[in-house]
Amino acid sequence: MTRRQQNTEQRPVRLSLALVRDLSIVLTLAILALYAGSGFLIPLALSFLTFVLITAVSDRVRDWVNAPVWLANLLGIVLVLAGLFAIMFVIGGQATQFARAIGNYETAFDGAVTRMAALLGPEMMGFARDTLAGVDLSRLTRGAVGGATSALNTFLLVSLYVAFLMAERRTLHHKMLLAARDPQLGQDMASVMDAISTSLQRYLGVKTIISLLTAGISYTVFRLLGLEFAETWAVLTFALNFIPSIGSIVAVIFPALVSLVQFDSVTPFLIIVFFCGTVQFLIGNFLDPAMLGRSLNMSSFMVILSLTFWTVLWGLIGAFLSVPLTVCILIVFSHIPAMRPLAILMSKDGSLSTEDEPQA
């Protein structure tokens, strides 16, 4: 490499009006494409995350028992897809049971509104009555059943995508090198994909363990209290813990409100709010950050901003995918010199994993 080429590569990218204009156009078109193509892109993103999770499980199986690659991949597929199918089965089955029992809940709902208003105090009684009196439980139930059916259809499509991704796992790296033509560009692309895969495996693995722990504790409390549809609330607790910040709050609010409808006393409501809320707080603020470590190298503001952005674009699914998708964007930006300043601003402490790697 000549001195002139070295000076050209090391020269910083200057911010100009033309560059800002081009970036704004590209960003606008990308956002429009994400919004317009959500029906195609959401299952694809879910299948990619499922593929990453299966890869992590199969690699762990191969390391622990020294199994052949095909057997480790098969076990990974069976374990992950069976777990996802079990979640869909529980939510779908209990959504149907809840639809059948909706008449009893509508009868008890007025009494629950009165107890909640009395618990909040006389100042809030009128506000609570006006707010909750317009809630249509039948409409909510129809939405829940329809959502469960849609989730099952998406699961079948994701399973199909994952099957083909697993079939091409061994040849993907080789095809990327051939497609790039330039060996250095191919190595850079492979490095980006490896970094994304490693970060997502750590994030999904840690969040899955933490969510299972939280859901297990919550399910034990729900069963001891005799809360109806305890399995559904436990599954929702597991899923909602993947939504940063607000997910754990919603996971406590739903079963707490149902306890007001089911029981004549406010004691179960207070137990769920204070005990399960304390568990969510401790795990979310101490265990979660300690286990995630540097695998989630994003600032707190960036987490909330990404949650808002992806929720606006893709709805509830976007809220679940907000952190993994933003982590992928951060890693890609960290490998592009022009985008590296944005990656530094998005990171938690300004340090990027690529800074410790030898530069090409």
pLDDT number for residue 354:
45
Can you read off the two tokens belonging to residue 197?
A: 């895969």
Residue 232 maps to a domain:
no
Residue 119 maps to a domain:
yes
Residue 95 maps to a domain:
yes
pLDDT number for residue 357:
43
Rounded to the nearest angstrom, the gap between the alpha carbon of residue 76 and the centroid of all alpha carbons in its chain is 20
The helix/strand/coil state of 1 is coil
Residue 354 vs residues 56, 191, 216, 342: alpha-carbon distances, Å: 22, 10, 37, 14
Rounded Cα distance, 315 and 308, in Å: 10
Residue 209 maps to a domain:
no
Residue 265 maps to a domain:
no
Give residues with Cβ within 8 angstroms of 60, minimum separation 6.
none
Residue 76 maps to a domain:
yes
- Residue 86: domain span: 38-179
Residue 350 maps to a domain:
no
Total domains present in the chain: 1
Residue 316 maps to a domain:
no
pLDDT number for residue 216:
93
pLDDT number for residue 9:
46
The pLDDT profile of the chain, 360 residues, written as one tens digit per residue, is 444 444 444 444 455 677 677 778 888 898 899 889 888 899 999 888 888 888 888 888 887 877 787 888 888 888 888 888 777 777 666 666 666 665 566 556 666 666 666 665 655 555 555 555 555 555 555 555 455 556 667 778 888 888 888 888 777 777 777 776 777 777 777 788 888 888 888 888 888 888 999 999 999 999 999 988 888 889 889 988 888 878 888 889 888 888 877 887 888 888 999 999 999 888 877 777 777 755 567 777 888 888 899 999 988 888 888 888 888 888 888 887 777 888 888 887 777 754 444 333
Read off the pTM.
0.75
Rounded Cα distance, 138 and 325, in Å: 35
